[in-house]
Amino acid sequence: MAGVAQRKRPWQVAALVALTALVGCWFWQRSSSPPAAVPAPSATAGERPFVVDVHVHLGPDGVERLGRLMQRWHFDHAINLSGGTPGRGLSEQLAAARSSAGRVTVFTTLSYHDARYPDYGARMTAALRRAHAMGARGLKIAKVLGLGLPGPDGRLLAVDDPGLDPVFEAAGELDMPVAIHSGDPRAFWLPIDGKNERKDELEAHPGWSQFGQDAPSFDQLLSQLERRVARHPKTRFISVHFGNCAEDPDRVAGWLRKYDNLYIDTAARVPEIGRHAPEKMRAFFIEFQDRVLYGSDLGVSAEPEPLFLGSEGKEPAGAKEEQRFFTATRRYFETADRDFDHPTPIQGNWRISGVDLPDAVKRKIYGENARRVIKLDLPR
């Protein structure tokens, strides 16, 4: 998703910051006695795997609500990929994270607004260094790089644009993993007709369609991404949305075998990976048990803003959609159930089957890998 914080006007963000800090502190201080409306967790982190969601879009006003979701759906830490940049939302997001009692880690974003300057690489690198000094722990790059970000000459910057090399080198030097979204589901390049299995989603978001656009192809973007990963062996990449290629796990497996600095997250792709043969996917997760990080693509702002649950339809998500999103995701990883409804109905009209991960693998994918790759210093 484009990012919760970016949907708000600057004045809204500014007005919410002070409030967020106050409310956040209040909430976390009394989180040992949850509000009556929130069901008590059936298990604590001591009894179940510690769960880090590495792909969350949190508005600075959404900390309290995120806390309630963590309690209700049993996850323990969130990586906020909508951290913004210095002077553009980052300090507000870091303040919000501080009010979470250590349950939120913030990634900065690429300073896209610098792309129009001839020295964009140097400017973006400087912004990254400032963000790191302020407390950002990683860098998030949205799909706009490669698909919609013009450089100083007005032409699209490619994912592997050489002018951006210093940014990726600096990320490695600063020990900041790069969570990168390149491309989109393959169906977004196809006509929006009865044969397109993402028709509902594309009709709700016509702007997500690349069909007929003067855009690089799905495969060109993945080649750009691969060259980028190959060029910076000292930089850790988290290729989001199942390596940006959930349709083809064999291709993702090939990259993971080839590039030691590459990791993937599972955000918003359980519907897609859940339709592959479960035995095949189980073998994938076992082979790459140290390389896969659990992520959801959950977007949270203060109510009454609807939750973003991996995608969104024309109607705002409610309690039913929330329950389905979290329970179907866990069911996928934790059971051998066959042919059940997937977490995000708008992402396609099909059913999925679970992979029933062994406990040790589940612990790594749910949390241990995130601790190591993002260098999180968290309680056990």
Footprint of Zn ion on this chain (CB under 5 A)?
Answer: 1, 297
* φ, ψ at 219 (rounded to 5°): -70, -35
The CB-of-249 to Zn ion minimum distance in angstroms stands at: 20
CA pseudo-torsion sign 282, 284, 289, 292? negative
The CB-of-312 to Zn ion minimum distance in angstroms stands at: 12
Residue (of 115, 60, 105) closest to 81 by Cα position: 105
The CB-of-81 to Zn ion minimum distance in angstroms stands at: 6
Rg of the chain taking only CA atoms, in angstroms: 20
CB-wise, 28 or 107, nearer to Zn ion?
A: 107
Residues whose CB falls within 8 Å of the CB of residue 278, separated by 6 or more in sequence, listed in order: 336, 338, 353, 354, 355, 356
Write out 269-296 in H/E/C secondary structure.
CHHHHCCCCHHHHHHHHHHCCCCEECCC
CB-wise, 238 or 361, nearer to Zn ion?
A: 238
Rounded Cα–Cα distance for residues 67 and 27 (Å): 8
The CB-of-31 to Zn ion minimum distance in angstroms stands at: 26
The CB-of-3 to Zn ion minimum distance in angstroms stands at: 8
Cis peptide bond upstream of 177, omega within 30? no
- Cα torsion for 258, 261, 111, 308, to the nearest 10°? 90
The CB-of-195 to Zn ion minimum distance in angstroms stands at: 27
CB-wise, 226 or 297, nearer to Zn ion?
A: 297
CB-wise, 181 or 278, nearer to Zn ion?
A: 181
CB-wise, 6 or 71, nearer to Zn ion?
A: 6
Q: What are the C-alpha distances in Å from 163 to residues 170, 223, 301, 336, 357?
A: 13, 17, 35, 47, 42
CB-wise, 160 or 297, nearer to Zn ion?
A: 297
